[in-house]
Structure 1
Amino acid sequence: MKKVFLSLSVAISLFASDKLLPKKELNSVLKSSILYPRLAQDIKKGLIKVRGVKKDRFYIINIQTKRGAGNIYITADKKYTVIGRILNNKNGSTLSANFPVNKKIVNEGISFSFGKGKKDLYVVTDPECPFCRMMEQKTKNNLAKNYRVHVILFPLPFHKDARAMSCYILAGKTDEEKSQRMKETMLGDNKWKNYKPSKTELNKCYSELEKSKRAAIELQAKGTPSVYDENFNSIEWPSLVKGKK
């Protein structure tokens, strides 16, 4: 079942939240899918959370696990289950749904904030991610001037030093210090290698990173960096480069 979730595609629209299916209808749709027997026990145990909407002759079912979140599609006649993306033949857009975001989970997962702008911006980032580092270099101080940036640290498992870097960043005593540590680390500073946390400090860090992970899943982050506006709509980070927005 792990391979199924790894192949799930997540898409977020820029419009108001779609109406969620009532529980009874959602259960009926799920039970029609060939995947249901492999999901049922984990759903019952609370290890998997599901929600769905009906849109353009499809049921879009959002599945959340500890590993991440993704969508499957079930046809309106309940005959077929689709894993992957459904493309509009006219414009190539992906059939997607805007599932409501739990603000409490997102806010609890914020690692630190910086900037003096009036608009909120949420950034899911990994300090070892080369694309996140590119974003840091390209946006420079533009974000701090124009936004109140809420950073959600999300060290990816295939980046071997990302978690250690994140713990070093989180060990900062203030948001300003955490922000500075992240900036320096992303620009190639290796001070994080000298940080030797105690067991208590590590446990605190891991607890905070678990909250951040839940926030990233709630936002349906597809990878790092993932950027969201004040309404949790996904936006492309290059638009934040000075002179482009």
Structure 2
Amino acid sequence: MLKQLITLGLSLAFCSSSFANVESVKAKLVQQYPQVKIENLQATEMQGLYSGTLDHQIVYINEDAQHLFIGSMIRLKDQRNLTKDLAMKKDIVDFESLPFTDAIKTVRGNGKRQLAVFSDPNCPYCKVLEGNLASLNNVTIYTFMYPIKTQSVQSSKQVWCSANKDYAWKNLIQKGIQPTASADCATPIERNLQLGKKLGLQGTPAIIFSNGYKALGAYPAVEIEKIWQQAGL
């Protein structure tokens, strides 16, 4: 849908009509363009302009629902990227609601800072992230084994059934050493797969910070530290 709209060459325009509200914009959009499904519609700091999501991307629409804008909104007085703020809020996860008993817990230093990581043992980028995480200190890492690759399911279950889960996981993800434990114990693997789908994790690795911010990819340790610093974590 979004690509089709871009092809049509829709652009941003401002009109001089009276200030509308969210409900009236929604009504106009449904009446005039029912095929355009904009979600999370809300007013912005700019009068007459509303933000929403279309095909998982931040878009803006004016009050008469006739013009669509795709791009970043920058507030000049402090150079803040308001579109980036919206994108971060859109992906916020309730960190405290995560089922940590279904994850492998690793504590370093005082363990004050917290991360939840979704990882597949056969994902090359997950291996890179694991190495990056190893250089972090004063952190508690909850690793949710998320075997989206079929060949990863059995070894993930074996890791969970191991006497030392953390040791077995690091041997597998960092050294490629297959766990020797049988996979006949009760594991959370299926629950983790369902949880990942619920959170919209279509790939690995994924990092969830304690403020709920979700980041996808093998983030370098310095970038993780930077996010902690910017978020005051």
Q: If the length of structure 1 is used for normalisation, what is the TM-score? A: 0.56
Q: 1:79 to 1:163 in 2, by over 3 A?
A: farther
How far residue 201 of structure 1 moved from its aligned partner, in angstroms, is 4.5
Q: 1:61 to 1:240 in 2, by over 3 A?
A: same
Corresponding residue number in structure 1 for 2:195: 211
Q: 2:219 aligned with 1:237, yes or no?
A: yes
Q: 1:148 to 1:60 in 2, by over 3 A?
A: same
SS at match of 1:155: coil
Matches within 5 A, 1:86-165: 86-87=71-72, 95-96=83-84, 97=86, 98-99=89-90, 100-103=92-95, 105-107=97-99, 111-116=103-108, 117-140=111-134, 142-143=135-136, 145-156=137-148, 159-165=149-155
Give the letter aligned to residue 170 of structure 1: W
CA deviation string 1:193-216 (max 9, x = no partner):
x66645x857x53134312442x4
CA deviation string 1:45-84 (max 9, x = no partner):
xxxxx64444463422377xxxxxx3353513323567xx
Provide the rounded CA distance (Å) in 2 between the counterparts of 1:184 and 1:238.
21
The question of whether the paired residues in 2 share the 8 Å contact of 1:152 and 1:212 is answered with no
Q: 2:68 aligned with 1:76, yes or no?
A: no
Provide the rounded CA distance (Å) in 1 between the counterparts of 2:106 and 2:35.
46
Percent of pairs with identical residues: 15
The question of whether the paired residues in 1 share the 8 Å contact of 2:119 and 2:204 is answered with yes
Q: 1:148 to 1:138 in 2, by over 3 A?
A: closer
Q: 1:148 to 1:126 in 2, by over 3 A?
A: same
SS at match of 1:60: strand
Give the letter aligned to residue 230 of structure 1: S
Q: 1:207 to 1:239 in 2, by over 3 A?
A: closer
The question of whether the paired residues in 1 share the 8 Å contact of 2:102 and 2:144 is answered with yes
How far residue 147 of structure 1 moved from its aligned partner, in angstroms, is 0.2
The question of whether the paired residues in 1 share the 8 Å contact of 2:161 and 2:182 is answered with no
Provide the rounded CA distance (Å) in 2 between the counterparts of 1:161 and 1:60.
39
Corresponding residue number in structure 2 for 1:7: none
Root-mean-square deviation (CA, aligned residues, Å) is 4.5
How far residue 134 of structure 1 moved from its aligned partner, in angstroms, is 1.2
Equivalent residue pairs, number: 193
CA deviation string 1:106-134 (max 9, x = no partner):
34685232114111122232221111101
The question of whether the paired residues in 1 share the 8 Å contact of 2:116 and 2:207 is answered with yes
Provide the rounded CA distance (Å) in 2 between the counterparts of 1:201 and 1:115.
24
Provide the rounded CA distance (Å) in 1 between the counterparts of 2:195 and 2:96.
11
Tell which structure's C-alpha radius of gyration is larger. Answer: 2
The question of whether the paired residues in 1 share the 8 Å contact of 2:119 and 2:143 is answered with yes
SS at match of 1:114: strand
Provide the rounded CA distance (Å) in 1 between the counterparts of 2:72 and 2:203.
21
List runs of 5+ in structure 1 lacking aligned partners: 5-21, 40-49, 64-69
> 45, 53, 58: which is aligned to 1:61?
53
Provide the rounded CA distance (Å) in 2 between the counterparts of 1:27 and 1:165.
49
SS at match of 1:187: helix
List runs of 5+ in structure 2 lacking aligned partners: 5-20
Deviant stretches of 4+, over 6 Å: 241-245
Higher RCO, 1 or 2 (CA under 8 Å, sep at least 6)? 1
